[in-house]
Structure 1
Amino acid sequence: MLILLLPFFFIIAISAQSNNSTYPNCPSYNCGNVTIRYPFWNTVSESTTQFCGYEGFGINCSDNGRQNIPEINFGGDSYYVQSINYELGTIFLVDYDVSPVATDRSNCPRMRHNINLGTLPFNFSMFSVNLSFHFDCNGCPSFATEIPCLEHNDRKVCLDVMNNGTDESVWDAYSCDQKVVTTVIGENMNSVPNLSTGFGRVLEEGFELRWWEVDDCDRCEASDGRCGYRNAMEFVCF
């Protein structure tokens, strides 16, 4: 009988710990000007084998010699975390290569990859605008903006604001070698009088993502808990 009752007492103890409003297993951290707290977590203080927060929401806090830099990684690419608004559920990110904290920052940055969110519970905000960079083209269509500083061997680089409803087949005539799509906040484009020379400033302002509640976490959070993972796969409710 005692052996049968032990699991019952264990579950009660765990439940009592979950009701602790300070969440000792889910601490908050400061990295630069950004507070890292649930559903995000610090990859340095917590490990990839056990953490409190959403899977894929780990933020690395690194030191570039001048300041602490919060970075998040998805799709194999790093993004500088500008700010997080926990009340609105939004996070502002900048591709690290074009961010103001990059050591090799350039006034004429070259976008090298798309933004790949995979299955992470993020959505782009309603204020987002997609920018399409077409590299090594034999010319630029009239609706696109030519980027002279990125030209190479007389091959053009063209920038297209993708919410203009352009048919992508139009680009076939320009024999471009590569296309990279990124996202920016639309209103930031209004502050740049000339996109061909000021596109770097728009990229540096970054983009906004909104996150939603993960399905596995709804019951945990409804019971005043915080969800996490152990051994990368095992779900835990703190």
Structure 2
Amino acid sequence: MGCCNIIMVEELLSLLVLTATAFLTHTALEIDSQYETCKPPDCGNGLTMSYPFWIPQQQESYCRHPNFNITCSNNNEPILRMSNDDYIIRNIFYKNQSLLVTNTGALSDICPTHLHNLTLVDTLFKFSPNHANLLFFNNCTLTPTDYFTYQIPCASNISSNSGYPFATFVHEGGLQYLNISSKQCESFVGAPVEVADGVTYEDMIKMDYPEILKKGFLLEWNASHCSECEGSGGRCGFQKNNIIYFCYDGPHPKNCNHKISSVSNASHNHNFLNKLYLNFPKLLKASSKVPQFG
């Protein structure tokens, strides 16, 4: 085989290797912009805000569910705002779709009494089955006789007409059984608290009520699961009232398991190219022995 023919074969093989390598590298490394944008953020304390939660200052609107926006405090704490109050998110349990929150007022006030009622109507949250209400009564003319009460002496500094300020635990729906009417108290506010498994009300009344409030309570949320998508390496978003699934190579109907096959194929092809490169001298030698015709 002539010298020129050998050079041509060498150039063609080199071009083949370079072209295929460039194509496969581009395919493997190209990441969908929406997938990249929807990377789960955090406020700086290490607690990741995955779907359905999102931080508006750090993500685009399509990365989130509209009812789960989070802000970050000056102390880098994730804040969920409900009923005009701020709640610090202490932990998130994505598997059973629940989160542990604490009212910021309970953490900053040594005498937390003027809390607002927390209303979950028109939200996608609900209280956990183990929650109870710690009710704060203000300006009462008498106190219950059949319920344990926390006396709140610091509340007397708030108003000259404080009467008998106190707090007591009430089971869900148990307010109707409390032997005190709204006419005997100026107002009352309920603060949700969590009753841990195995803990009785008798155990809780032995604790200081500010410490109980600081422990927080669980909320459960109702939104589409993202576990299957995230388990396949994807990220969830929300558009036009529907959950969407972002993968490395773009949105997909349910999960990103198809990408595993693509990555596997890319890996196989790269292995082939590697073998082609290593055997390049042998191919040249073989090509020099190709018979000439004509």
Taking structure 2 as the reference length, the TM-score comes to: 0.58
Equivalent residue of 2:214, what SS?
Answer: helix
Give the Cα–Cα distance (whole angstroms) in 1 for the partners of residues 78 and 186 of structure 2: 34
Per the alignment, residue 136 of structure 1 pairs with 139
Higher helix content, 1 or 2: 2
Per the alignment, residue 39 of structure 2 pairs with 27
Give the Cα–Cα distance (whole angstroms) in 1 for the partners of residues 119 and 155 of structure 2: 24
Per the alignment, residue 212 of structure 1 pairs with 222
Kindly state the Cα deviation for residue 190 of structure 1 after the two structures are TM-superposed. 6.5
Equivalent residue of 1:170, what SS?
Answer: coil
Structure 2 residue 170 is matched with structure 1 residue 158: no
Equivalent residue of 1:34, what SS?
Answer: coil
Kindly state the Cα deviation for residue 194 of structure 1 after the two structures are TM-superposed. 3.5
Per the alignment, residue 42 of structure 1 pairs with 55
User: Whose Rg is larger?
Assistant: 2
Give the one of 62, 72, 81 matched to 1:61. 72
Structure 2 residue 78 is matched with structure 1 residue 70: yes
Give the Cα–Cα distance (whole angstroms) in 1 for the partners of residues 64 and 133 of structure 2: 29
Evaluate the alpha carbon distance shift between residue 23 and residue 80 of structure 1 in structure 2; reply closer, same or farther with a 3 A threshold.
Answer: same
Kindly state the Cα deviation for residue 95 of structure 1 after the two structures are TM-superposed. 1.0
- Alpha-carbon RMSD: 3.2
- The C-alpha deviation readout for 1:87-142, integer Å capped at 9, x for no partner, is 2211111111113xxxxx22211232111223222121121112221111112112
Give the one of 157, 177, 189 matched to 1:180. 189
Which deviates the most, 179-188 or 157-166? 157-166
| Paired residues, number | 199
Write the letter of the residue equivalent to 2:98.
T
* Identity in percent: 25
Structure 2, unaligned runs of 5 or more: 1-30, 247-294
Give the Cα–Cα distance (whole angstroms) in 1 for the partners of residues 92 and 125 of structure 2: 13
Higher strand content, 1 or 2: 1
Taking structure 1 as the reference length, the TM-score comes to: 0.70
Evaluate the alpha carbon distance shift between residue 132 and residue 173 of structure 1 in structure 2; reply closer, same or farther with a 3 A threshold.
Answer: closer
Contact 1:132/1:159, CA 8 A, preserved across alignment: yes
Evaluate the alpha carbon distance shift between residue 81 and residue 194 of structure 1 in structure 2; reply closer, same or farther with a 3 A threshold.
Answer: same
Write the letter of the residue equivalent to 1:55.
P
Evaluate the alpha carbon distance shift between residue 107 and residue 55 of structure 1 in structure 2; reply closer, same or farther with a 3 A threshold.
Answer: same
Equivalent residue of 1:97, what SS?
Answer: helix
Q: How does 1:73-112 map to 2 (within 5 A)?
A: 73-99=81-107, 105-112=108-115
Contact 1:139/1:174, CA 8 A, preserved across alignment: no
Kindly state the Cα deviation for residue 58 of structure 1 after the two structures are TM-superposed. 0.8
- The C-alpha deviation readout for 1:53-98, integer Å capped at 9, x for no partner, is 22221111122xxx31110112232111111111221111111111
Give the Cα–Cα distance (whole angstroms) in 2 for the partners of residues 106 and 213 of structure 1: 33
- The C-alpha deviation readout for 1:207-226, integer Å capped at 9, x for no partner, is 101112259x9xx99xx772
Give the Cα–Cα distance (whole angstroms) in 2 for the partners of residues 213 and 205 of structure 1: 25
Structure 1, unaligned runs of 5 or more: 1-18, 100-104
